[in-house]
């Protein structure tokens, strides 16, 4: 934790940060802890080492599930990241494949090293992703590009990921984590209730009809406007000084 920013690192570099069931459970717990720690305002998710963000679930662990139904109802780290109240930033430092791509897609903002690559290789093994791959990939990259990735199993590089709007920015590997933390610090300096509300509103905007999305946005704006932080923002503007927000 650095100031108001927590960094969660997938730490199994020798296996390209492939996620085991204990790692999944630990990530779920870590996200939950961040959400319930008032000082944390932004979460950065990244991978250990220089080669990989994450290649998703460790395939050798999948046969440990007694039945397909047990596999269906497993603890899912992507679900936890998407459900986080706290804004999230993915710092994609290498391979983002399968569940690793889903992990990145589950974050609100994605930055990538110029050495990163992205792919949905599950089809080469006989199945498809189940952690939000099609839903979130098609929203980010568009239906045709999503189909290209999901149906071929082939990878794209960071430049194409930027072109396809999978990521917001591509930087040198040596700058990636610093850049992610700079962005996180900027968000953390804003009113935290407003930032969390913006996250809720952005997610809702994808699933609500336009008239309902506008109505919901107005309601959320009203809630934010009634906070002490909003009053502080107005005072600071009038007094020509930076605001100091307290999550109230």
List the catalytic residue out of 122, 163, 169, 228.
Answer: 122
Distances (CA, A) of 42 to 25, 104, 112, 123, 199: 20, 15, 18, 34, 11
Q: Which CATH number fits domain 192-239: 1.10.287, 3.40.50, 1.10.12, 2.20.28?
A: 1.10.12
Is 37's pLDDT higher than 90?
yes
* Fold agreement between 5-188 and 192-239: no
Average pLDDT over residues 199-224: 93
Per residue in 144-182, pLDDT (tens digit) is 999 999 999 999 999 999 999 999 999 999 999 999 999
- Of 3.90.226.10, 3.20.20.150, 3.50.50.60, 2.40.50.140, the CATH number of 5-188 is 3.90.226.10
102 catalytic residue (yes or no) = yes
**Cβ neighbours, 10 Å, residue 162:** 17
61, 102, 217, 232: the catalytic one is 102
The whole model's pTM is what? 0.93
* Res. 1 pLDDT band, cuts 50 70 90: low
Check residue 175 and report its DSSP letter: H
| pLDDT confidence bin for 28, thresholds 50/70/90 | very high
- Catalytic, 154? Answer no
């Amino acid at each position: 934790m650095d100031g108001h920013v927590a960094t969660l690192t997938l730490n199994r570099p020798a296996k390209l940060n492939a996620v085991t069931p204990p790692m999944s459970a630990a990530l779920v717990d870590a996200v939950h802890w961040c959400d319930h720690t008032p000082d944390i305002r932004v979460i950065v998710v990244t991978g250990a080492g220089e080669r990989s963000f994450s290649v998703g679930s460790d395939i050798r662990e999948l046969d440990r599930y007694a039945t397909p139904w047990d596999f269906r109802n497993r603890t899912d780290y992507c679900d936890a990241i998407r459900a986080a109240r706290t804004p999230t930033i993915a710092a994609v430092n290498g391979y983002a494949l399968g569940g690793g791509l889903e992990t990145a897609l589950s974050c609100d903002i994605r930055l990538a090293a110029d050495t990163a690559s992205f792919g949905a290789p599950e089809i080469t093994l006989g199945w498809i992703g189940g952690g939000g791959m099609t839903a979130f990939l098609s929203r980010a990259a568009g239906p045709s590009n999503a189909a290209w990735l999901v149906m071929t199993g082939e990878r794209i590089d960071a430049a194409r990921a930027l072109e396809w709007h999978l990521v917001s920015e591509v930087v040198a590997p040596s700058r990636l984590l610093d850049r992610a933390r700079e962005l996180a610090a900027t968000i953390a300096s804003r009113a935290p209730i407003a930032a969390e509300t913006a996250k809720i509103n952005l997610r809702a905007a994808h699933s609500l009809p336009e008239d309902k999305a506008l109505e919901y946005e107005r309601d959320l704006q009203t809630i934010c406007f009634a906070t002490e932080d909003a009053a502080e923002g107005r005072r600071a503007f009038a007094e020509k000084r930076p605001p100091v927000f307290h999550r109230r």
